[in-house]
Amino acid sequence: MIRIFSILAGLFFTAALLWSFGNGAYSAITDPAAVTAEEMFHKHPKQLALASDGAFGNFDHRQLQRGFQVYQEVCSACHALSQVSYRDLKQLGYNDDEVKAIAAKAQVPAYNAKTGEVKSHKGLATDHFPPVVYGGQGTPPDLSLVTKARHGGGAYVYSLLTGYQNQPAELLKHFPDAKVPDGLHYNPYFVNLNIAMPPPLTGDGQVTYGDGTKASVDQMAKDVSAFLVWTAEPSLAKQHQTGWPVLGFLLFATVLAYMAYRNIWADKKH
Amino acid sequence: MSFPWANDYKPSHPFMQWMDSRLPLPRFVYDAIGAGYPVPRNLNYWWNFGFLALICLGLQVVTGIVLAMHYAANAGIAFDSVEHIMRDVNWGWLMRYSHANGASAFFVVIYIHIFRGFYFGSYKPPREMVWLLGVVIFLLMMATAFMGYVLPWGQMSFWGAKVITGLFGAIPLVGEPIQQWLLGGFAPDNAALNRFYSLHYLLPFVIVGVVVLHIWALHIPGSSNPTGVEVKSESDTVPFYPFFIAKDGWAALAFLFVYCAVVFFAPNMLGHPDNYIPANPMSTPALIVPEWYFWPFYAILRSFTFDFFFIPAKLMGVLAMFSSILIWFFLPWLDRSPVRSGKYRPLFKKFFWYGLIPSVLVLGYCGGSHAAEPYLMMSQLAAFYYFAHFLIILPIVSSIERPDPLPFSITESVLGHDDKAALGGKAALGAAA
């Protein structure tokens, strides 16, 4: 009895699926989905090699400091870094005094419960990076986690920063209506090709690196990408440093346990 | 119950004797996972995954309790509190990555455990109860995992919660009120987050309870085995301790090795980047997908793209998605083949390897992709096979199939001969009864 019900239920589900399949196939033939401009022109991130890559990756502190400088002087005009606190910067190799000095340059808003006012105070090492007020077009995302929040991670940020170009004539040939809207900028690494952010890194020497590295656009883009990999995962190096001994121990323990197993089962055919 | 030849617990130390006559907890352990539990000697490595599942459950409970000490279930600060765990809590990143990847590991293990049951007929008499309780555990796991994924309150948390609770909206007439009642509002917000957190903490302990029943029910008939031939005599079994403690032990360490490699070196491999963007009800992600372990079911949900007579496509999808698991409850009565193990079922074996496994893999692949062609047509065909397999093929195959000859006993399958078989098996059968 149960098998009759079962077969009836099976026919019900399979018939409904065939119905959907047939309809879907019919419309796929008669009305095939048109290729979109995004599908044709969107590009995957370029290659970017960072010191933090791979299972032995560690942060290059000098590069992180350069990237931090690019963030401070360029990105921070529009993008917040709310998950990061100034004291975290010690991990980049700054000492206490340098961290305090960096924090003191910022104005951090705080609510005063006695007066009811929101007043800014000079940043302290314990403060997080303050929120950024932005009134222009688009919504600049918080950058704290951006390299974990996009496919491609640091390579995506690097590609985006160096990927601005004129809209290809071929695109307009295929999609005459797809002209870049006013105020947006063509960038094939951005998800829908048109990004509100104007090219932030415009020319060599936009920042002056303290360590003498030449500040080319490519170099600045690499450095700030490396910095944002750090802001998203400050414990990355520690993960790698902890991971190897853990795996080493587990390998040893596994081999030992395997030998114990072989020993115990030695006389037992199975 | 146990076999007559099972070792009896005989405490020698006066304290253990005192204990045994008052609260026989050591005896309970001895009979459950100690020398007092005889297990078929021929279990292969597919039989290790029950033990591994237990380890996963333990890992999830321990890491979860630690995370709960630092997490704040409030829609305003939940996302930041997770980042606080990652950045400021000592070893917080380890706890969170262990927990997030622990969920994935748990599902890998449990899927292998379930499919081992499918292949070797572990659901058949006298183990129906073990199977039914197992399906209950799986359903509880799905609910727990779903609610856990909502807690970080990222984009995928929010939109996943919206889509899944939206399924209840497909129920005719009462759907929308039920959906609002479940969420405590019109969309996922603080009320939903708080109840999900509460239930996410509760359900694992319910799972622990059902796991106890699952193992208890298993111990009544004893473990099944790859031949599917029931235990007949003492030479068919070995005591759980030390034999299977040793085997499960080394398998567990090997499993932990792989698990830790992911936790330390690729902790975000199985996650979705969008969940590192704080939840934003005003911005819908381009692709809303659940975690990978729900992809096959998600693909079934999305396979129904056209209304079927008077049944709306969405309702049909919801019905099918829930049915795809609920039919497992009926499995012991759908597959009536007297032969338990797929090893001796030539026809069943073909449908399992060339039908069920590929269809589930295709469903999994499509469930993680955009709901567009060709993924829809692929998942429709795969879902077609999936339902046909359980509801139509299994009942028919089990009545027309001619199984291969079975070994007389486990001992014979292992040693190539069994002395008791020469006696016509009567002595052995007498001993087993």
B189 is catalytic: no
pLDDT-derived band at B433, boundaries 50, 70, 90: very low
Q: State yes or no: pLDDT of B426 exceeds 70.
A: no
Q: Stretch B112-138: mean pLDDT, rounded? A: 97
Average pLDDT, chain B: 94
Residue among B243, B320, B376 minimizing CB distance to A13:
B320
Q: Is the pLDDT of residue B432 over 70?
A: no
Convert the pLDDT of each residue in B317-354 to its tens digit. 999 999 999 999 999 999 999 999 999 999 999 999 99
Closest to B240 (Cα-Cα) out of B207, B213, B215, B212: B215
Would you list the domain boundaries of chain A?
1-33, 42-81+138-234, 85-128, 244-270
Residue of B223, B235, B341, B413 with catalytic role = B223
- Contact residues, B window 310-339, toward A, CB-based 8 Å cutoff: 311, 313, 316, 320, 323, 327, 330, 333-334, 336
Phi, psi angle pair for A119, to nearest 5°: -120, 150
Compare CB distances from B377 to A3, A24, A246 and report the shortest one's residue: A24
Q: Tell me the C-alpha distance between A166 and A180, whole Å.
A: 10
Q: What pLDDT is stored for residue B257 in this prediction?
A: 98
Mutate which of A21, A58, A88, A238 to disrupt the B interface (most B C-beta within 10 Å)? A21
Q: Are strands B38-40 and A194-195 parallel, antiparallel or unpaired?
A: unpaired
Q: Which residues of A touch B375 (CB under 8 A)?
A: none
CA separation for the pair A86, A95 (Å, rounded):
11
What is the pLDDT at residue B424? 52
- A16 and B247 within 8 Å at the Cβ level: the answer is no
pLDDT at B418: 80
Task: Name the residue among B208, B200, B108 with its Cα closest to residue B152.
Answer: B200
What pLDDT does B1 receive?
53
Closest residue, chain A, to B275 (C-alpha):
A149
User: Active site includes B283?
Assistant: no
Percent of chain A clearing pLDDT 70 (strictly above): 100
CATH for the stretch A42-81+138-234: 1.10.760.10
* Strands A194-195 and A107-111, sheet pairing: unpaired
pLDDT at B302 over 60: yes
**Per-residue confidence (pLDDT) for residue A34, from 0 to 100:** 84
- Asked if B248 is an active-site residue, the reply is yes
Instruction: Outline where DSSP puts E strands in chain A.
Output: 107-111, 118-122, 185-186, 194-195
* Chain B residues in contact with A13 (beta carbon < 8 A): 320, 323, 383, 387, 391
Of the candidates B67, B69, B133, B75, the residue with the CA atom closest to the CA atom of residue B103:
B67
Identify the sign of the CA torsion B51, B53, B59, B62.
negative
**Closest chain B CA to residue A15:** B384
Cis peptide before B278 (omega within 30 of 0): no
- Residue A178 has a pLDDT of 87
Q: Taking 50 as the threshold, does the pLDDT of residue A10 lie above it?
A: yes
- What does the block give as tokens for B195? 């109840």
Which among B291, B335, B412, B418 is annotated as catalytic?
B291
Average pLDDT value for chain A: 94
HSE-CB of A107 using CA atoms within 13 angstroms: 5
Contacts of B426 (CB under 8 A, 6+ apart): none
Are residues B336 and B123 in contact, defined by beta-carbon separation less than 8 angstroms? no
Q: What is the pLDDT of residue B431?
A: 45
- Residue B349: active-site member: no
Does B430 have pLDDT greater than 50?
no
Helix runs in A93-199, H state only: 96-104, 154-162, 169-174
In the three-class reduction of DSSP (H, G, I as helix; E, B as strand; rest coil), residue A180 is classed as coil
Write down how long chain A is. Answer: 270
Statement: residue A192 has pLDDT above 80: yes
Cross-chain Cβ contact A239/B377 below 8 Å: no
Tell me: the pLDDT tens digits for B346-378?
999 999 999 999 999 999 999 999 888 889 999
A–B CB contacts, 8 A cutoff, strictly below? 165
Using one digit for the tens of pLDDT, what is the confidence trace for B158-180?
999 999 999 998 888 899 999 99
Looking at A147-151, B299-303, B367-371, which range is the least confident one?
Answer: B367-371
Q: Is the pLDDT of residue B428 over 50?
A: no
What's the whole-number mean pLDDT along residues A204-225? 94
Helix (H) or strand (E) holding A263: helix A236-264
Domain extent listing, chain B: 14-283, 289-332+349-400
CATH code of the domain made up of B14-283:
1.20.810.10
pLDDT average, residue stretch A130-148: 92
**ipTM computed for the complex:** 0.94
- Mean pLDDT, range A128-133, rounded to an integer: 93
Which residues lie closer than 8 Å to B37 by C-beta, 6 or more apart?
Answer: B2, B6, B31, B219, B222, B239, B240, B241
Residue A94 — very low, low, confident or very high, per pLDDT cuts 50/70/90?
Answer: very high
Q: In this predicted structure, what is the pLDDT of residue B423?
A: 59
* pLDDT, tens digit, 9 for 90 and up, residues B182-231: 999 999 999 999 999 999 999 999 999 999 999 999 999 999 999 999 99
pLDDT at position B427: 47
Question: CA-to-CA distance for A251 and B261, rounded, in angstroms?
Answer: 11
